Structure 1
Amino acid sequence: MPLNVFSVVVCTHNRAEDALECLRALHEQIDYANSEVILVDSASSPAQQQLLQHGISNLQKPLYLRLEQPGLSLARNAGLARCKGEWVAFVDDDAVPNPDWYEELLSVLRNAPDDWGAIGGRIVPVFPAGGPPDLGPRWKRYLSINDTVGSRDCTAKFELIAANSCFRRAALDAVGGFPTELGRSKKSLLSGEDVLVMWRIRRLGWKIWYDGSFCVGHKIPADRLTKRWVRARAYWEGISTIRMARLLSDRGRFRLILKAAIAAPVLGILSLLMPKGYEWDLRLRYDLGVVIESLRFRPKSSSA
């Protein structure tokens, strides 16, 4: 397999230890004669930058890119611009690829039809000490968990999560990469950049696939298991949904806004009358995000 087939991009911001653990897991399995690894430092602090540079000097092979402006989509696009691969895999800095991740993904790519534009892999949560908490489906989704097995076409119903994903370079180039209007930046919990990319490549006729054979363990920080974080995440999901719909010129967003405007007061009353249930609460926060963003209010932080 020539070098121009497979690139791996890891983007990081102030999580040097996590990023280096991810890189070490990749380093132990990747055939550098046929593939490449690119680390994009998204404006980490000087101390974190020093840790990264020292750590990758021991690994020798990863290409290090430094950006002075933070932003996940900016970082992914910078990595994309330097890739030599026909396929570009993205692994989050707080994810640890399984020992067979490289070989399993390589096998999938070797058999990928020409109309496949993107492939999502399995993401298994790694919870803090104490075992997995009791989480509802919406909370799990906000934690970027997709631990289902099997292989299937998910063009109609997206299952790809960018924390463990692979895109055909031609498909990403055709849609202009990841939208910088979306994606995490500083304290914002804005998201949806991977979903918007999937919408755009689907419109161009590419298919999207899910394959559970290539898998990562995704670390779940303790603060993401708090009510404060998940409520903020649900609120920002509503904001992200409307911004994404605007970028897609999707007129269906008006129906979504109307539905949220009607549902929010009802959910607010139910949350007062019914026993506390996170699904109710998170749906309320999501709807509030939809309505407020539709009015073009701009929240200043993620602590909604």
Structure 2
Amino acid sequence: MTVPLTVAMCSNRPALLHAAIDRLRALLGPEDHLLVIVDTAVRADTTRRLVQAATDQQITALFNGRTIGLSYSRNLALKEAATQHILFVDDDIVPTLATVDRIRAALGNGVHVAGTRITADFQGHPTPWYLTDGQLHYLGSHHPGLPASIWGGCFALDRDHARLLSVGFNERLGRIGACLSSAEDTTLVRQLLGLGASGTVLDDAEVRHLIPVTRLRLGYLLRRAYWQGRSEVRRNTTRRGLRKEWSRNRSGGSGPRATALALLYTAAVLVGETGQLLRQATGSPA
């Protein structure tokens, strides 16, 4: 059984869109559709080029007109998808045709949600001393020595089954512009599986995540860890989330450098959790 897919890409980075559209267009089967949702105000020339790309009957471009957020955009994609099954791919993910075919086959066999292994591609930049495999999840990439799980950079779901279960992306989570809130993807997956949906991780099916050098800076990584802490509170997993982050950070090695980095990043998570708890206690904006 060949399963038609809506490939959905939600992006607030217009500079990446055209290369990403070309990558994804090459993966479409005859019954597939590419849905591009632009979550930012864009210049007239960018809009014009996207509209021109969308003259292809397999491509639709939607514009939020301003930055509303990744979760909002993904919920819009669920609503506007032309097919029952939808594959979410970030604008910096490089899938292969073989991986898309594996996802398609899993969905055709009745799986409700499917993910892949996401491998960090530093694009020739050296790995900084303050980054171990234990921090790769802050870059949306899996630890190469541990089992993968379903993450939002590349995952597919049965949209109709999610609707039946009344499950969507939590709009208090997910990135909004420069805000690095997260966990809207794993929260949705956890809800689906908890309600009886079937899921699979194609651990040996790999996609590359193109990591820009700006995300290899210590300041970015610590900010990402801080926002991980805030996200854990927002989804009511404060204690469990802190233990999870400590375990992840400790998976980077056993030497003194790896241990010191695990303490540093987990402390950033704790600061984020504390800040979010104080905001909630004082009624400040989340």
- Structure 1 residue aligned with 2:34, among 25, 33, 37? 37
Counterparts of 1:99 and 1:72, CA distance in 2: 25
CA, structure 1 residues 7+257, in 2 after alignment: closer, same or farther (shift >3 Å)?
A: closer
Distance in 1 separating the partners of 2:91 and 2:21? 8
**1:181 equivalent in alignment to 2:172:** yes
CA distance in 2, matches of 1:257, 1:106: 32
Counterpart CA distance in 2 for 1:148 and 1:284 is 24
Q: Retained in 2: the 8 A contact 1:122–1:149? A: no
Which residue number corresponds to residue 261 of structure 2? 278
Structure 1 residue runs of 4 or more that deviate by more than 6 Å after TM superposition? 257-260, 298-301
Residue 125 (structure 1) shift: 1.6
| 1:129–1:54 CA distance, 2 compared to 1 (3 A) | farther
Q: Does 1:225 align with 2:216?
A: yes
Q: What pairs up with 1:281-296 in 2 under 5 angstroms? A: 281-296=264-279
Q: Which residue of 2 aligns with 1:249?
A: none
**241 and 9 in structure 1: CA distance in 2 versus 1, 3 angstrom threshold:** same
Task: Select the residue among 43, 60, 63 that pairs with 1:63.
Answer: 60
- Alpha-carbon distance, 1:280 to partner: 1.2
**For residue 6 of structure 2, what is the amino acid of its counterpart?**
S
Match of 1:24 in 2: 22
Given the alignment, which residue of 169, 177, 181 partners 2:159?
Answer: 169
Equivalent position of 1:271 in the other structure: none
Report how far residue 78 of structure 1 moved: 1.0
Question: Does the 8 Å contact 2:5/2:87 carry over to 1?
Answer: yes
Residue of structure 2 in register with 1:88 after alignment: 86
The normalised TM-score by structure 2 is 0.82
1:299 CA displacement: 9.1
The AA in structure 1 aligned to 2:262 is E
Q: Which residue of 1 aligns with 2:149?
A: 159
Question: In the alignment, which of 203, 206, 209 is matched to residue 200 of structure 2?
Answer: 209
Q: Per-residue deviation at 1:200?
A: 1.4
Q: Which amino acid aligns with 1:223?
A: T
Q: Which moved more, 1:94-103 or 1:277-286?
A: 94-103
How far apart are the structure 2 equivalents of 1:257 and 1:131?
A: 30
Structure 1 residues 147, 216: CA separation in 2 closer, same or farther (over 3 Å shift)? farther
Instruction: Give the TM-score normalised by the residue count of structure 1.
Output: 0.77
Say which SS state the counterpart of residue 31 (structure 1) adopts.
Answer: coil
Separation in 1, partners of 2:218, 2:52 = 35
- Residues 279 and 285 in structure 2, CA contact (< 8 A), matched pair in contact too: no
Aligned residues: 270
Q: 1:91 to 1:223 in 2, by over 3 A?
A: same
User: Counterparts of 1:50-199 in structure 2 under 5 Å?
Assistant: 50=47, 52-53=49-50, 56-57=53-54, 61-70=58-67, 71-111=69-109, 113=110, 116-133=111-128, 135-146=131-142, 159-173=149-163, 174-199=165-190
1:295 partner SS: helix
Task: Give the C-alpha shift of residue 148 in structure 1.
Answer: 5.3
- 1:74 positional shift: 0.9
Pair 1:209–1:182, CA change in 2 (3 A): same
Deviations 1:92-112 (A, max 9, x none): 01112224333232222223x
Question: What root-mean-square deviation, in Å, do the aligned CA atoms of Structure 1 and Structure 2 show?
Answer: 3.2
Once the two structures are TM-superposed, the CA of residue 257 in structure 1 deviates from its matched residue by: 9.2
SS in structure 1 opposite 2:279?
A: coil
